[in-house]
Structure formats: C-alpha cells, structure tokens
Amino acid sequence: MNEPQASMAHYVSNAPFDPFKAEKLTPEQERYYMASQIRMMWWRFRRHKLAVAAAAVILLSYFSILFTEILAPYELHSRNTDYIYAPPQKIHMFHEGSFAGPFVYGLDYKLNMDTLKREYSENLDKVQPIRFLCSGDKYRFWGLFEADFHLVCPAEGGQMFLLGTDRLGRDMASRLLYGGRISLTVGLLGIIISFVLGIVIGGLAGYFGGWVDNVIQRLIEILRSLPELPLWMALSASLPVSWSPILVYLGITIILGLLDWPGLARAVRSKLLALREEDYCAAAKLMGAKPGRIIGRHLLPNFMSHLIASATLSIPSMILGETALSFLGLGLRPPITSWGVLLAEAQNIEAVALYPWLMLPMLPVVITVLGFNFLGDGLRDAADPYD
C-alpha cells in the first residue's frame, strides 16, 4: 500500500505501439466493409431462399426458350391424326420385371359410343423406348436453317405424348415449350417499353416540377383509375385484322407496355423530387451539366436497383395480360402460339371435362407468375443493402 500523497511511479509500457490499432480490421471485417454495392446486394439477396430458387427457375426457363426447337420432342405444328386427344403417356422403366430403360407403352384407340369420348389404353406389347440426342421432326432453328436434332424423341414409328395431345393430335408438351417462347418474351418487351416511358415521363415530372409535374400527375391519376383489361381488350381489338402475326405480336407488347408505365413513373418522380435537392446535384448544375445528364448520370443510378426490382414485379401482370387477351381471342392468333392461345382451346368446357390435360398450360403461367413475384420480393429487399 502506498503512502497517501506519495506520487505513483511513472509507468511507461514498452510494448510496441500502433496508433491505428483501433481502426485495423480483421480480414472478415475488411471483406464486409470494403465490399462493393453489387456484392452486398448479392449477399442480401442470397438470404432470401425462395427468391434464389425463383431466380433459378426463371433463368432456366428463359435459357430454355433459346433452344426450344431442340428441347421439344415434336415440331410446333406437326399433327398426329391417329392420336387426337391422346392422354398423357407415362414413362416406364421396367417391362415385365426387367429393366428396359425409359420407354412408353404404345396406345390403342377406341371410340366410346356412349359418351363419344376417345379412349386410349396402353398396349403392354408395344414397348417404345425413348431415344435421346436423336433426329426426329424437321424444324427451322430460329427460322434460320433446317435441322432435325432433338434432345429426346419418340421411338421410330412410335409416339411419345408426355402431356397428351390436342384436338388436332398435336403434342401438348412441345406446344407448351414453344408457347413459352412467346409468353415469356411478351413480358420482357412490354416491360422495356414501360420502363423507358416510366423513366422519361417520371423523370420530367420529378426534375422539372411545377406545371409539368402537375399535368403528368393528373395524367397518371387518370390512367391508374381505369380498369386495365377492358382497355387492353379495346386496344387490341383495334389492331387491324390484316396485320401479320409478327406485327400483331409487337402491337400487343406495345399495348401492354403503354398502360403499365404510371406506376414506375410515380416511383421515379418521388425519388427525383427528393434527390434533386442534394448538394452533388447542385454542383453538377453549377458546372453546367444539362438536365438530361444530371438525371441520367447522377440521379438515376441512385435508385436504379429499386426500379429494376419494381419492374420485375410488374412483368407477371404483362404475362397475365397477354394470356387473358389471347384466351379471349383478342390477343395473339394462331399460328403464333402462346400459353394464352393454348388455353383458348380450354374454353370449351365439354372438351375439358373429357380431356382435362387441355388445362395444362395453366401450370407454366402460374409457376412463372409466382416465380417473378418471389424474385421481385427478393430483389426489392436486396435493392438497398445499406439499411
């Protein structure tokens, strides 16, 4: 014990001293604090398991439409007149107890004279092994060159309708794959149109404010208060009948995009109104940057991720819009085949009652819409990784 008032010995630690010690980061911290924005978004996004799964499904389906012709066992229009309304065939592995590889049993056809229903039964003598990486129906790949290479084909002289056939004996599975090519791209093209419109119009309103903002706000209010579907119906009914299928397809995407922009424009506007007061914006203005550059270069990148997330959330409404229009016979018309066009055949409820697989095109529609919803949710959470 020291005496009271006696001064303590002056103590100096001679351990080496690093003045920046408190600010040194462990490798983990460094990885976290120095991560780029994209990387942080990815981390945030990865936490949302459902969104990751949805992203995988959607990427896979968009990837598949690049090779539709190869993936589909049949060509889009090839008819099998002997197999009208054939039911889905099961894939078997074992024939009479022994392994025979993946194969289907051939179908025998009988017309039920009471219900006039076409009835097919499996003929256990006809073993039709499925072929892989084979040549089958001829097609024009992307309409460019002729080929006959498929991933899977029915046996020589045999059939393979994994999802049944329709009233002309066309393979539903192949038609679903081809339909995806149209239905999935309608949503993308439509969203691009509405994205551009939304950014330009919302940007004008938010940046200039005043009467421009007022007029655009009123316009948005009017458009948002209208029921979309009847307007879509009226607009697509006014597409000239003489147009070629490709023109009709483009027309429909434009119609879908034309009514969808108000939501995006509103988001852009409110963000811009807040951001244009920031100092860096004033600085850019003082340096003589034009409004286009300020909006495009300095303001938009600030909330681009939010925009992409909300755009993802509005793709499903476009896909559904096209499906509904084609279903009603106002949208795409054969020979262009989308999921909606396929579903139009299911309108005849008597046929559906006998041949329920006509309703199958619903499945990809529901899966895609669900997928985009989950993906959009995940993206929205990830869009702002700093909070």
Please say whether the beta carbons of 169 and 107 come within 8 A: no
258 binds other proteins (CB under 8 A): no
Nearest distance in Å: CB 51, other proteins: 13
Binding to other proteins (CB under 8 A) within 333-372 occurs at 343, 346-347, 349-350, 352-353, 356, 359, 362, 365-366, 369-370
Give CA–CA dist 196/146, Å, rounded.
37
Nearest distance in Å: CB 191, other proteins: 18
* Span from 5-13, 76-84, 173-181, 232-240 in contact with other proteins (CB under 8 A): 232-240
Query: Of 58, 320, 341, 379, which one interacts with other proteins (CB under 8 A)?
Result: 320
Tokens of 99: 């392994």
What is the DSSP secondary structure assignment for residue 119, as one 8-state letter? E
Identify the CA nearest to 369 among candidates 306, 322, 330, 329. Answer: 322
Q: How many residues bind other proteins (CB under 8 A)?
A: 41
Query: Of 221, 247, 278, 292, which one interacts with other proteins (CB under 8 A)?
Result: 221
Tokens of 341: 């066009």
Cα–Cα distance list, 25 to 20, 33, 39, 51 (Å): 10, 9, 19, 32
Residue whose token pair is 């630690």: 13
102 binds other proteins (CB under 8 A): no
Give CA–CA dist 345/85, Å, rounded.
12
240 CB-side CA count, 13 A: 5
Identify the CA nearest to 375 among candidates 50, 139, 81, 149. Answer: 50
Give CA–CA dist 175/65, Å, rounded.
12
Nearest distance in Å: CB 302, other proteins: 25
Binding mask 280-309 for other proteins (x = CB under 8 A): ------------------------------
Nearest distance in Å: CB 214, other proteins: 12
Give CA–CA dist 183/249, Å, rounded.
10
Give CA–CA dist 327/343, Å, rounded.
6
Nearest distance in Å: CB 91, other proteins: 26
Binding mask 170-209 for other proteins (x = CB under 8 A): ----------------------------------------
83 binds other proteins (CB under 8 A): no
231 binds other proteins (CB under 8 A): yes
Cα–Cα distance list, 316 to 161, 220, 332, 372 (Å): 29, 21, 17, 6
* Span from 129-137, 156-164, 204-212, 326-334 in contact with other proteins (CB under 8 A): 326-334
Nearest distance in Å: CB 40, other proteins: 24
Bridge partner list, 92: 103
* Span from 129-137, 174-182, 206-214, 215-223 in contact with other proteins (CB under 8 A): 215-223
Query: Of 31, 238, 243, 282, which one interacts with other proteins (CB under 8 A)?
Result: 238
Bridge partner list, 147: 139
Q: Is residue 373 classed exposed, middle or buried when 0-12, 13-18 and 19+ CB atoms within 10 A define those classes?
A: middle
Query: Could you list the residues that contact other proteins (CB under 8 A)?
Result: 218, 221-222, 224-231, 233-235, 237-238, 240, 316, 320, 323-324, 327-330, 343, 346-347, 349-350, 352-353, 356, 359, 362, 365-366, 369-370, 373-374
